[in-house]
A and B are shown apart, each in its own frame.
Chain A
Amino acid sequence: MNLTNFNTKEEFFVDMQRCIGCKACEMACAECETNGQQTLISVNYVDRSSTIQTTVQVCMHCEDPVCANVCPADAISQDEFGVVHTASTERCIGCSNCVMACPFGVPKKVEEYDLMMKCTMCYDRTSVGKKPMCATVCPSGALFYGTREQIEEMRPNSTPINNFIFGQEKVKTKVNIMMPKGSTELRIY
């Protein structure tokens, strides 16, 4: 990337258990300059008929991103900080491979643009040392952006992890999820 002031000390820490479904992050997400008024973060009920549990999902910025690998148009790229960028507007053919293959259910296809758009970790902000929009508005601490020391102090009983097991596949990410103290991974199955 061109000029950047990306703060490599700060990281993203997500704790979906804390999500109260207020959707403040959805509003904030649309303010991100790289999104052009589209909200790209996802908040949804986990199982509407049986629980009020909600969850929030940002792009996890995988080390070996499945989305970019399955893209037939080479539209998704990863930069030197490990940020996985949204589809390049001239390359993306809107096929939705990335939408269906991302193990975290992140990319969104904007039908009328025939284009996929996804979270860039607010690169317009993080590249100048600011925090992502969603993390600045989350009232419950489900989304936190800061240093490791800060999160350790705030959450002494939790450990951030970035390894995920989906059946046979192990996915390592840049973004962390807060887990019970001493955890090393989150096994989805």
Chain B
Amino acid sequence: MKDKTFNGKALFVATLVSILTIVLVFYGSRELQNFDAALVTYLFGTVFAFFGIVYRYTVWLQRPPTWMYFKRSIKFLFTGKIFAHLWFLGKESVQNILLQKFIYPRSKWRWFAHFCIALGCLSAFAITIPLTFGWIHFTLAPNSISIYEAHFFGFKMMDFQINSFLAFLIFHALNWSSWLVIIGSVYYLRRRLTNPGLIATQTFEGDLLPLILLIAISVTGLCLTYSYQFMKGFAYDFLAVIHAVTVIMFLIWIPFGKFFHIIQRPAQIGAHIYKQEGIKKGMAVCPHTGEEFATKLHIEDLKIVTSQLGFDFTLEDGSSHLDLSPEGKRSRLAQAHLKARSQGGNLFG
């Protein structure tokens, strides 16, 4: 909540990462030989976005509750049965990051639409980032006019026939991504315009604009292809500019708004690791209800985190209000209320 606006550590880490990115662009494109100069605006946008994302991420990590989870989950991951832990990490990443399966119980359509957006965006990142950095490039195979070679970091990765179905899939990959993003975003836009709970709580810039922007990026992207394939390049330059502007807006916006969750979501796996390890260390029992309700680790860590944040729930007898389960807390409040009412001489008033 209370972030300072200037943060030295974050500035340092973000600068370092940006410089590293530029160095990798230089060497990954074989000293710019394979760099596509037409993409230079995208390159600046991307490096700038990296800076912003890393800065924001570092500021975020420094918040006491975030740091507690980060510190604990990294430590758990690399102590004891490391392979079992890495296996768990892999499994969790597939289920929760790649497939976002926890959205499914919220509603299958919400899951489907989000899966489309995420798959579309992540595949587009996987293609465009290496392309802009000059890490991927295509050449004709030596002594051939029908075989294309794909290179990564200057090393040959694969080759394929120019007229093959594979070539069609590869060269139109970004179009497939665009369609996925459009399907998902239109669903979510419709939901936001019709669901009364969302209508009451959403804002234009925080919730609707991200969806509109995603649709704008995808539609202009698709138009580029259709312009040169079917309309003899009609309005191509104009479309190219609009597309670049929307993409760069998107990139630069990642650290600030809704899109930051793409970077932030792996923390969910941290929370799962934390809970699993906590259970092994034992459960906390509520002094009021006499039942287990959370891990001991969680309750003890929360005492530290709340005190770092300036809250002090220590009671006179040295125990803490945080030792109670949620139900215990509600009951203790009700008992205190009853006591006050009784002392007031009138139970209802």
What separation, in Å, do the CA atoms of A53 and B325 have in the docked complex?
18
Q: Which of B65, B199, B265 is most buried by chain A, counting CB atoms within 10 A of its CB?
A: B65
Check A33–B196 contact: CB distance below 8 A.
Answer: yes
Q: Kindly report which residue of chain A lies nearest to residue B332, judged by CB atoms.
A: A188
One of B270, B315, B348 near A17 (C-beta < 8 A): B348
Check A70–B340 contact: CB distance below 8 A.
Answer: no
B143 lies within 8 A of chain A by Cβ: no
Q: Which of B251-278 contact A (CB under 8 A)?
A: 258, 261, 264-265, 267-268, 270-271, 274
Query: A147 contacts which chain B residues (CB < 8 A)?
Result: none
- B193-232 interface bits toward A, Cβ cutoff 8 Å, 1 = contact, 0 = none: 0011101111110000000000000000000000000000
Query: A101 contacts which chain B residues (CB < 8 A)?
Result: 302, 305-306, 322
Q: Kindly report which residue of chain B lies nearest to residue A112, judged by CB atoms.
A: B105
Check B336–A90 contact: CB distance below 8 A.
Answer: no
Check B268–A2 contact: CB distance below 8 A.
Answer: no
- B276-312 interface bits toward A, Cβ cutoff 8 Å, 1 = contact, 0 = none: 0000000000001000001000110010011001011
Check A55–B196 contact: CB distance below 8 A.
Answer: no
Q: Which of A45, A106, A167 is most buried by chain B, counting CB atoms within 10 A of its CB?
A: A167
Check A72–B197 contact: CB distance below 8 A.
Answer: no
- A162-181 interface bits toward B, Cβ cutoff 8 Å, 1 = contact, 0 = none: 00101111000000011111
Query: A44 contacts which chain B residues (CB < 8 A)?
Result: 327, 330-331
Check B274–A104 contact: CB distance below 8 A.
Answer: no
Check A72–B66 contact: CB distance below 8 A.
Answer: yes
What separation, in Å, do the CA atoms of A161 and B299 have in the docked complex?
29
B80 lies within 8 A of chain A by Cβ: no
What separation, in Å, do the CA atoms of A94 and B269 have in the docked complex?
10
Query: B96 contacts which chain A residues (CB < 8 A)?
Result: 114
A187 lies within 8 A of chain B by Cβ: yes
One of B199, B267, B313, B338 near A167 (C-beta < 8 A): B313
Kindly provide the distance from the CB of B255 to the nearest chain A CB, expressed in whole angstroms.
12
A2-B202 contact in complex given A72-B69, A113-B105, C-beta closer than 8 Å:
yes
Check A167–B337 contact: CB distance below 8 A.
Answer: no
Query: A97 contacts which chain B residues (CB < 8 A)?
Result: 65, 298, 302, 305
Kindly provide the distance from the CB of B198 to the nearest chain A CB, expressed in whole angstroms.
8
A115-B197 contact in complex given A46-B331, A69-B309, C-beta closer than 8 Å:
no
Query: B315 contacts which chain A residues (CB < 8 A)?
Result: 166-168, 189
Check B298–A90 contact: CB distance below 8 A.
Answer: no
Check B347–A17 contact: CB distance below 8 A.
Answer: yes
- The tally of residues in A whose CB lies under 8 Å from a CB in B reads 73
Tell which of A22-30, A119-127, A131-139 binds the partner. A119-127
Check B349–A158 contact: CB distance below 8 A.
Answer: yes
Kindly provide the distance from the CB of B211 to the nearest chain A CB, expressed in whole angstroms.
12
Q: Kindly report which residue of chain B lies nearest to residue A45, judged by CB atoms.
A: B331
B142 lies within 8 A of chain A by Cβ: no
Query: A68 contacts which chain B residues (CB < 8 A)?
Result: 1
What separation, in Å, do the CA atoms of A31 and B75 have in the docked complex?
43
- B318-344 interface bits toward A, Cβ cutoff 8 Å, 1 = contact, 0 = none: 001110111111111111111011011
What separation, in Å, do the CA atoms of A73 and B307 have in the docked complex?
18
One of B66, B195, B316 near A33 (C-beta < 8 A): B195
Check B326–A72 contact: CB distance below 8 A.
Answer: no
- A64-94 interface bits toward B, Cβ cutoff 8 Å, 1 = contact, 0 = none: 0010111111100000000001000111011
Query: A1 contacts which chain B residues (CB < 8 A)?
Result: 200-201, 203
- Seed contacts A113-B105, A123-B201, A180-B343; 16 additional CB < 8 Å A-B pairs: A17-B341, A46-B331, A46-B335, A46-B338, A70-B65, A91-B264, A96-B294, A104-B333, A105-B325, A105-B333, A124-B196, A179-B341, A180-B340, A180-B345, A183-B344, A189-B321
Give the interface of A toward B (CB within 8 A).
1-2, 15-18, 32-36, 42, 44-47, 53, 55, 57, 66, 68-74, 85, 89-91, 93-97, 99-108, 112-115, 120, 123-124, 127-128, 155, 157-158, 164, 166-169, 177-181, 183, 186-189
A-B residue pairs, 6 tightest by C-beta: A180-B344, A105-B326, A55-B334, A105-B329, A33-B197, A124-B200
